[in-house]
Amino acid sequence: MSQMNSSLLVGMAGIGILCSIIAIYYITRIKSSFAALPRLERPWLLLELGVASLFVAALTIPIEEFLIQISLVHFVQSASVVSAAFFILTAMVTMKQAWTIKETD
pTM: 0.76
d(CA 60, CA 6): 13
* 26: nearest Cα among 42, 12, 11, 47: 47
Which pLDDT score, from 0 to 100, does residue 5 have?
Answer: 62
Residue partners of 41: CB distance under 8 A and separation at least 6: 31, 34, 35
Which pLDDT score, from 0 to 100, does residue 89 have?
Answer: 93
Q: pLDDT tens for residues 39-54?
A: 777 888 899 999 999 9
Long-range contacts (CB closer than 8 Å, 24 or more residues apart) made by 29-35:
none
Indicate the pLDDT class of residue 82, thresholds 50, 70 and 90.
very high
Tell me the domain boundaries of the chain.
Answer: 3-99
Residue partners of 23: CB distance under 8 A and separation at least 6: 51
Strand, helix or coil for residue 105: coil
Q: Are the CB atoms for 17 and 59 separated by under 8 Å?
A: yes
d(CA 85, CA 83): 5
